[in-house]
Structure 1
């Protein structure tokens, strides 16, 4: 067994190791949200670029804003910021060690973070802070300037707590010193993530000084991007697999699929690494790609998550092995989701769906249904509700999407079909559980959450379909409801 560290890298033969000298790397990127997805995606692309001998002035400095980020920081510091990434398919498994991160700033040390952001060497600030981290009103999908975290940063601009407060403070320091602004690059699964990030930074700035907000809008670049790689959470299962298969002891390894995709707008005035040399697609308009991914892949995850969770299925690949769940996914996708997804350059949407199905069915990933069920209050308004609303506006059937929403409601009731307790799995779990319990006898109570459902809550066709679906779930159970939908009897 080899414990991962810079000193032990030469002894590791079971995994690919960096071909570059890490001591020669210099920072070019500060990244907020050093989680599993970032380390399996952006960091892997940079590792591949560095291995070609290029881009060594684009190393990463990590940054966190939550107290819980300190646990990750401590684990990674103990292994010199190295990460083992294990890529798995049904019949293959390979490991690589990435060394692109060279420091990780302590969460809560706003002065150190702002100083790093003000460094002229930093030309990109990137984020993976999850869909719920952008202070978006669920119904309007617009920035919420009244959130207490944002109000705090506006009143304490010298020591902000949010990523956006820190980013804005760093930009102000640079402006005062005559240094070109860095580019702000979101790597989260949000439609128009660049625009959303700009709205958050400029929205906070507007609370401090309207002129500052205008400067942000005219002087700072926020490219849109689409990111994709299925990356489950790390548990002792993954640590044990890594130790048994590769003989490496890593405190926080990342397991993921082989597939990865990154589509970016080429809007980086301060410069960028040559990521096109390692597979990143730079396009004039990311919107068609992100629309496809968020609605078909992320919407597909939401579609299988809640029926599987209610039937006590643990892993995603096990859900895909269940004939009712996999058939439900395909019917909802082909009849309701894909028909309202606009065309994507050089892409067949039905082939893309088949690719997603194969990826979901990968038995090696170990992705959990509970992870897919997480944070529905932020994910449903991005992945499911907009598609249903498009169909309402086109006067098209929404039965499958209404059933997806009803399954989410039933899940939030807090027990599975077997009676097992579902532990809290959403930042708004108490509220969701309260509404789900009311909705058992009065389905319309669930749709009273207009901050989530917006105009969809007023659509009589959707309300009727949702009511019928939820009543079916409570009267007949998940299995029977899926069977009825698949037989066009719902």
Structure 2
């Protein structure tokens, strides 16, 4: 069967939306670092709407910092791919044409540096996951002990590994040519633009202090909040797209109809008119960041650890269980909501109702095991602020104490049914070693909660929390997650 490509667009069924602009006429003005499924389901989709509705020269060059997989998927298809929106039995297909090319950084680092330095490049966006920022949360700065950062400092500007180093190398060239830049983080980090700016400046200081000064005045790092559930594409998704298109699309991405993007109005260069196609440009992103991290992402992590241990492979299976659904709603109402301060007119209750409906979308098949990855990076962003604020206010924090016990139980590598699995986490070696050294909750829990790089002294701030987590961990081992959650509700 033939592959989707530019020549095949005219053959597609009328029900499939296709680009409404001349693709070969647009230039690449956006470079995206980390071209995975989420970018293709979110920022590239927003940019496609701009090109279709507003015009402009906003083609995207995607960059993989590791694998050539996406390049291999997209190149035979002229950069085209299908976005499959699924809600129950309904689906909508749209072919996205905004991506003009894909570069694999390890294979062609010179091409990436040239592109980032090019006058035509106005905007850089990033989805490199929390760990990709090489950020030390406890020190609130660049993790200078990170092996990849140490490598990049030694070999700079050659053989680079990190997004941070590539940006600094390109900005050094842009300074010579007096070319400002706007760099937008699209990862699930609070104040993600501020974090990105800190690690870039810290790295630049190591290279050239005058470069760091220029970056402060000539480069914008706006914060942004992104929201769309984009699970890993399944063989069933590929087959569903094939059936409608009548041709193969190995780069297809499946997602939900809902999408949200809130961007701080802080730019040094022109940017696409994303605000004309549904994104919000605001003065302060923080309330929206807090809402999303604590309500959506915080709930997702609870679902991932407790639900996965209980035997549920998908998010929709967890929330289909009435006790788990009630537990998640209790977390939203009693833990996350009291810590939020949203703009007047924003309906938080409606947002929570919408979240539970989105979680229940069985057509997405969002794996709990996928969400459970990289917990050492995610938990500080999703749970700890709520723990601190509620603890300081004297409110009950037992829901998150149970959630933390669930994560520590997850680190022990065995579901309640006895099935074993591999922990995927940048701190996996350290954390799993702890689970092997000690056998009892009374030793294991305090050891994990004392890891400064994750919890930043939380065990000392909230000493009662440690005792609660020990008790919940004992119960999870003795009774299993399903029973503990049911008893809690």
- Superposition TM-score tier, normalisation by shorter sequence: over 0.9
Partner of 1:116: 115
Residue 444 of structure 1 pairs with residue 442 of structure 2: no
The equivalences for 1:14-413 within 5 A come to 14-55=15-56, 57-66=57-66, 68=67, 70-108=68-106, 109-159=108-158, 160-178=160-178, 180-413=179-412
* 1:410–1:436 CA contact under 8 A, matched in 2: no
Residue 470 of structure 1 pairs with residue 468 of structure 2: no
Deviation for aligned residue 1:209: 1.9
Q: Is the alpha carbon distance of 1:121 and 1:391 closer, same or farther for their aligned partners in structure 2, counting shifts above 3 Å? A: same
The superposition leaves residues 188-246 of structure 1 with CA deviations (integer Å, 9 ceiling, x where unpaired) of 11101110110111111011122222221222111111111000012323212222354
For the residue of structure 2 that corresponds to 1:191, the secondary structure is: coil
Unaligned 5+ residue runs, structure 1? none
For 2:38 and 2:311, the matched residues in 1 are separated by: 26
Q: Is the alpha carbon distance of 1:360 and 1:246 closer, same or farther for their aligned partners in structure 2, counting shifts above 3 Å? A: farther
For 1:244 and 1:384, the matched residues in 2 are separated by: 42
For the residue of structure 1 that corresponds to 2:413, the secondary structure is: coil
For 1:142 and 1:358, the matched residues in 2 are separated by: 38
* 1:303–1:404 CA contact under 8 A, matched in 2: yes
Deviation for aligned residue 1:426: 2.1
For the residue of structure 1 that corresponds to 2:222, the secondary structure is: coil
Regions of 4+ moved over 6 Å? none
The superposition leaves residues 243-269 of structure 1 with CA deviations (integer Å, 9 ceiling, x where unpaired) of 235434111210000000011112222
Deviation for aligned residue 1:315: 1.3
* 2:21–2:55 CA contact under 8 A, matched in 1: no
Partner of 2:421: 422
Deviation for aligned residue 1:116: 0.9
Q: Is the alpha carbon distance of 1:467 and 1:83 closer, same or farther for their aligned partners in structure 2, counting shifts above 3 Å? A: same
For 2:140 and 2:11, the matched residues in 1 are separated by: 50
Unaligned 5+ residue runs, structure 2? none
Q: Is the alpha carbon distance of 1:246 and 1:9 closer, same or farther for their aligned partners in structure 2, counting shifts above 3 Å? A: closer
For 1:354 and 1:262, the matched residues in 2 are separated by: 19
For 1:400 and 1:294, the matched residues in 2 are separated by: 17
* 2:88–2:363 CA contact under 8 A, matched in 1: yes
Number of residue-to-residue matches in the alignment: 482
* 2:264–2:283 CA contact under 8 A, matched in 1: yes
Residue 479 of structure 1 pairs with residue 479 of structure 2: no
TM-align CA RMSD: 1.6
Deviation for aligned residue 1:3: 2.1
If the length of structure 2 is used for normalisation, what is the TM-score? 0.95
Deviation for aligned residue 1:151: 2.3
The superposition leaves residues 374-405 of structure 1 with CA deviations (integer Å, 9 ceiling, x where unpaired) of 11111011101221122222222210001011
* 1:440–1:474 CA contact under 8 A, matched in 2: no
For the residue of structure 2 that corresponds to 1:94, the secondary structure is: strand
Moved more, 460-469 or 337-346: 337-346
For 2:34 and 2:401, the matched residues in 1 are separated by: 33
* 1:226–1:290 CA contact under 8 A, matched in 2: yes
For the residue of structure 1 that corresponds to 2:6, the secondary structure is: coil
* 1:138–1:452 CA contact under 8 A, matched in 2: yes
* 2:232–2:366 CA contact under 8 A, matched in 1: yes
Q: Is the alpha carbon distance of 1:360 and 1:470 closer, same or farther for their aligned partners in structure 2, counting shifts above 3 Å? A: same
Deviation for aligned residue 1:439: 6.0
